[in-house]
């Protein structure tokens, strides 16, 4: 569905495990009234993840992406979804308005993952993922670079300012594309309408 048919935007919040996706999405959803679409929960609810064969990491699920898309298609079509997942390139670009890639300092991420009691192999894999900017590359390859925004999420203040800026972006998107459009007509284009505004 083209963006003009949605009355609220669909936003992906992605990044390496532990960067702060869920914490950010929860607060953003509370503040904006948009729906936190936590893909981990969708996978559990619809039982669409198969246990991996990795003996070091038996809890990792391999997700059937086609089935996942079937499960969330209606919600994406409706709009107003904050999609929370550690992958992003499977969501159809026509349904996505903004992609936020959260980033975290190595030492901070290490401490967060260690606190989860991750084994050494899983910890190292995730650290490599962050250092190699895997999610940022994935997002830039899958979506128009204009809608991909990299946001630091090291400290609480970073999260607060990220949420504030995304909230502002949502308000502007609604004025330009959603039900507020008519009221906003004639106001002209603002810098804040461009996702690049979030780069700060
Ligand atoms: N910007 C931040 N400042 C301080 N603490 C943070 C920040 N972001 C996340 N945290 C903390 O880091 C931990 C991991 O955050 P969270 O669970 O939101 O990560 P996640 O990206 O959703 O991970 P996963 O991919 O495994 O679901 C939590 O304890 C959270 O409170
Ligand atoms: Mg999470």
Contacts of 179 (CB under 8 A, 6+ apart): 7
Q: Is 193 within a domain?
A: no
Task: Kindly identify the ligand whose nearest atom is closest to the C-alpha of 38.
Answer: 2
The domain spanning residue 73 has which CATH number? 3.40.50.300
Q: Tell me if 192 is assigned to some domain.
A: no
183 falls within a domain: no
What mean pLDDT comes out for the span 122-131? 96
In a domain? residue 180 = no
Strands 98-103 and 61-63: unpaired
Q: Residue written as tokens 């890639």?
A: 101
**Residues 6-19: tens digit of each pLDDT:** 999 999 999 999 99
186 assigned to some structural domain: no
| pLDDT level of residue 158 (50, 70, 90 thresholds) | very high
Please state, in angstroms and rounded to a whole number, the distance separating the CA atoms of residues 139 and 182.
32
What is the reported pLDDT for 51?
Answer: 82
Task: For residue 190, tell me if it sits in a domain.
Answer: no
**Percentage helix, strand, coil for the chain under 3-state DSSP, each rounded to 5:** 55, 15, 30
User: Is 110 a domain residue?
Assistant: yes
Give me the number of domains the chain comprises: 1
pLDDT single digits (tens) 54-106: 766 766 779 999 999 999 999 999 999 999 999 999 999 999 999 999 999 99
Q: Scanning the structure block, which residue is given the tokens 């083209």?
A: 2
Domain ranges, residue 151? 8-173
Residue 118 has pLDDT above 70, yes or no: yes
From 18, 49, 153, the mutation candidate for ligand 1 (largest count of ligand atoms within 8 A of CB) is 18
Report every protein residue that has its C-beta within 5 angstroms of ion ligand 2.
21-22
pLDDT at 180: 67
Q: Is the pLDDT of residue 196 over 90?
A: no
**Nearest ligand 1 atom, CA 86:** 25
pLDDT of residue 60: 74
Q: Could you write out the three-class secondary structure of 16-70?
A: CCCCCHHHHHHHHHHHHCCEEEEHHHHHHHHCCEEECCCCCCCCCEEECHHHHHH
């Amino acid at each position: 569905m083209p963006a003009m048919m949605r009355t609220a935007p669909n936003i992906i919040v992605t990044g390496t495990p532990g960067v702060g996706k869920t914490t950010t999405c929860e607060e953003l959803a509370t503040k904006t009234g948009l729906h936190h679409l936590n893909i981990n929960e969708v996978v559990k609810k619809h039982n669409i993840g198969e246990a991996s064969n990795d003996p070091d990491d038996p809890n990792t699920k391999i997700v059937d992406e086609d089935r996942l898309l079937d499960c969330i298609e209606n919600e994406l079509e409706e709009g107003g979804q904050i999609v929370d997942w550690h992958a992003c390139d499977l969501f159809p670009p026509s349904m996505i308005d903004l992609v936020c890639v959260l980033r975290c300092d190595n030492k901070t991420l290490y401490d967060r993952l260690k606190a989860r009691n991750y084994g050494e192999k899983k910890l190292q894999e995730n650290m490599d993922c962050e250092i190699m900017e895997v999610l940022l590359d994935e997002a830039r390859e899958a979506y128009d670079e204009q809608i991909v925004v990299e946001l630091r999420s090291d400290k609480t203040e970073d999260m607060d300012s990220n949420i504030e800026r995304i909230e502002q972006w949502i308000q502007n998107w609604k004025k330009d594309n959603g039900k507020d459009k008519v009221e906003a007509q004639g106001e002209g284009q603002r810098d804040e309408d461009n996702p690049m505004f979030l780069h700060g």
